[in-house]
Amino acid sequence: MKKELLMASALVSTLGVASVAQAVTATMAGSMKVGAEFESADDLGTDNNQVHDQSNFNISLSETTDAGTTISTSFEIVDEGTVSADDDNAIKLTFTDGSALELLNAGNAAGTHAAAVPGAGGEQGVGGTSTNNAPGDLDFAAGSTALGVEWHSAADFLADGLKVSASYSTDNGLAKAAAARLENSWGVGATYVTTAGDSTVTVSGGIADGEIATTGTQATSDKGGFNIGVVAVTGDLTVGVGYGDGDTFVNSTTNGSNQEIDGSVMKAGISYVTGDITLALGVSSGEGKDGAFGTAGTTDDSTDSTSASVTYAVASGVSAVIGYTTVDAQNEGAATTDDGSSWYIGASMSF
């Protein structure tokens, strides 16, 4: 590794002539997580014990022009058994008034403003092979394509504590295929921060819509919906609740396997910090009716989970965590392999 760094330094020095632009400012961050998970499945599933060895490395790049506009982007390398690179990162322009514009891979504004509801730490979960399509994220109805832009207002937009965003994305020009895909989307979102006594209260949410493209049967509803949430922080105590509702889809190379989903999800959580210990508890309840394109589902898929964790700060950047999750799930109203419970014990180091 030392040789590679020396070679890279020499190359940069060689290229550092007047005709070549100087390097932008780069910052690094990352983490390493190692732990053991113990899954106990219900009657239809299989018990499973495994070791999680996960690492990620993030590089953020930014520079400011003479006019005061900051140009920034980032990329991430994640190793969760197989190395992968996250290249879905926008070029972001931040202007002198505090507003910003993201270009390409910008995302959906409704997802940007989804509430950060507290949840348990750890890597525990219950795996299975069911086709349960109950949603689990508040922003499940907020989609986008790579050819998109998103605008963010400055702080205190129109009112103290208010920030808003708006986004739009379009398709890549490819011909429609049997597998369904998102053709275009739009979204708007807002976050409002205020105080109530000793508490800081954040209210956030957004709405989104998008069109689905396919050469076969069209879905009865396109992708779209809304999310809303409230998070309150009082000293070391954080409490939050959020709700999302809308339509989404899953695709397949076989047109008949495209699924449309009408779903909703509720999430609530609480966390409390006492000294070096963080206690967290979260619950999630998702429901979805799925069916082949053109035929709305009539029977519920559902996933209800409760998770708790204790995290101890061992040293600066080093923490140990014990987490537990229990899941009750149904697919088309019947028992599924997604049921069960899971323990996790591990540690993480971050910089």
pLDDT digits (tens, 9 = 90+) for 152-180: 999 999 999 999 999 999 987 788 888 88
CA-CA-CA-CA torsion sign (106, 112, 116, 120)? negative
Q: 């409230």: which residue's tokens?
A: 230
Taking only the tens place, the pLDDT of each residue in 63-92 is 999 999 999 998 888 766 555 555 567 899
Distance, CA of 334 to CA of 4 (rounded, Å): 56
206 and 113 in contact (C-beta within 8 Å)?
yes
Distance, CA of 229 to CA of 225 (rounded, Å): 14
In terms of Cβ atoms closer than 10 Å to its own Cβ (0-12, 13-18, 19+), residue 227 is buried
Name the band, by pLDDT with cuts 50, 70 and 90, for residue 132. Answer: confident
Name the band, by pLDDT with cuts 50, 70 and 90, for residue 40. Answer: confident
DSSP state of 257: G
Distance, CA of 195 to CA of 197 (rounded, Å): 6
Q: Give the class (CATH, top level) of 25-350.
A: mainly beta
pTM for the structure as a whole:
0.84
